[in-house]
Structure 1
Amino acid sequence: MKRFQPPPPKPDATGTPPDRDAVRQETVQRIKRLRSKSNRGLWAMALFIAVSIVALGDFSILPPLPPSIRATLGKPPSAIMISGALVLYTFSAIILILSRMMGGKEEYSGFAHVGYLAAFYGFYHFAKALNENFWAVFVAGVTILGLESYHIWNFCNEAIRREQEVLDSIERLRKS
């Protein structure tokens, strides 16, 4: 499994090695960014849960769509068609996340998944089938976002471990 690893610091144009303190500061900054990034999955999950709470109430806190806009949108797809699309989307998302995990890629699309899952809530709402299908979207969302969250958390922790090794080697050199 290939993982992203930043290149070691290179000597400058004069051929002198990089300053240890500068390398240490850069490494500490990268670790801070990675720790912040590892929490993205939790933020996406929190947003999805908030959207799910609104959907559970059948979007009653939002104003209803005017009849003219509903007429413009036309007849909603059937609940069976929406469910088929949800199953297809869920398996596709899981396969993509697993392939990114196996490839060691840093990509993350948790917030995009929240948008897609919110759209499924909306489709079921317009088809007047949200109450019967709420849990299907919720379980698909928790599964996708949980896997995506684990992926980014695992990737960041691996990168933090490598960066910590750099810090440890700087400290060993400093003590010797």
Structure 2
Amino acid sequence: MEAAGKDKMATGSAARDAKSVLRQGLVDDMARLRRFSNRGLFALSLFIVASTVAWRGFTFLPTPQQLVAAMGTPPTPFMISMVLVLYTFSAIILSLSRMMAGVYHKSSFCHVGYALGFYLFYYVADALADNYWAVFGAGFTVLCLESYRIWTFCSDQLGRKQEQLDFLERNGRMPPEEEDSLYS
């Protein structure tokens, strides 16, 4: 008789432990998603800092003439502009396709590097003053779109995690897996 009571208590304790482990996992996932949702804003802030440095003319770098003497002739400003246009449209299309597919992807900070690269190419070509706003507009557009994509992805995932947590609290178990279908 006592053994049956101890078995029931052990089973109940194991169920509570499993529920608390599942609950903690969901809470941890939600905290991670909240932190990740700010990634786009951090990248945008870094881009603003890089743009400010470019606006001031990269005062810590050698002059464009010294760089050309050391590295050789840079691409023409027209060629850099064509690549900037190609990059901008490609990045926008890629970001929109990731948004539509709901893909988890952390690409924000690489776009800061690309924009900084365009600033540097224009600087070396001695055409930064004429093309600063083109790079700034392209970078700002791409990074705002990326920030929005990341934020909407995280908001969607947070909603799902909250639903799972609510189900767990009501029923003591995780909800059945939902099948994602293209035709449902």
TM range (shorter): 0.7 to 0.9
**Superposition pairs of residues 149-168 of structure 1, within 5 angstroms:** 149-168=147-166
SS state at 1:19 partner: helix
Q: 2:38, 2:151 within 8 Å by CA — same for their partners in 1?
A: yes
Structure with greater helix share of residues: 2
SS state at 2:149 partner: helix
Q: 1:108, 1:148 within 8 Å by CA — same for their partners in 2?
A: no
Match of 2:37 in 1: 38
Paired with 1:76 and 1:120, the residues of 2 have a C-alpha distance of 12
Q: Using the TM superposition, give the Cα deviation of residue 117 of structure 1 relative to its aligned residue in structure 2, in angstroms.
A: 0.6
Instruction: Write out per-residue CA displacement over residues 113-146 of structure 1, whole angstroms, 9 at most, x where no aligned residue.
Output: 1101100000000111101110000010110000
Match of 1:81 in 2: 79
Matched, 1:58 2:68: no
Aligned length: 158
> Match for 1:48: what amino acid?
F
TM-score, length-scaled by structure 1: 0.84
Larger radius of gyration: 2
SS state at 1:105 partner: coil
Instruction: Provide runs of 4+ in structure 1 moved above 3 Å.
Output: 65-70
CA change 1:82–1:35 in 2 (3 A) is same
Match of 2:182 in 1: none
Q: 1:90, 1:140 within 8 Å by CA — same for their partners in 2?
A: yes
Identify unmatched segments of 5+ residues in structure 2.
1-13, 173-184
TM-score, length-scaled by structure 2: 0.80
> Match for 1:71: what amino acid?
A
Identify unmatched segments of 5+ residues in structure 1.
1-15
Q: Using the TM superposition, give the Cα deviation of residue 172 of structure 1 relative to its aligned residue in structure 2, in angstroms.
A: 2.2
Q: Using the TM superposition, give the Cα deviation of residue 104 of structure 1 relative to its aligned residue in structure 2, in angstroms.
A: 1.2
Q: 2:68, 2:74 within 8 Å by CA — same for their partners in 1?
A: no
> Match for 1:27: what amino acid?
L
> Match for 1:103: what amino acid?
A
Paired with 1:31 and 1:58, the residues of 2 have a C-alpha distance of 42
1:71 to 69, 72, 75: 69
Match of 2:129 in 1: 131
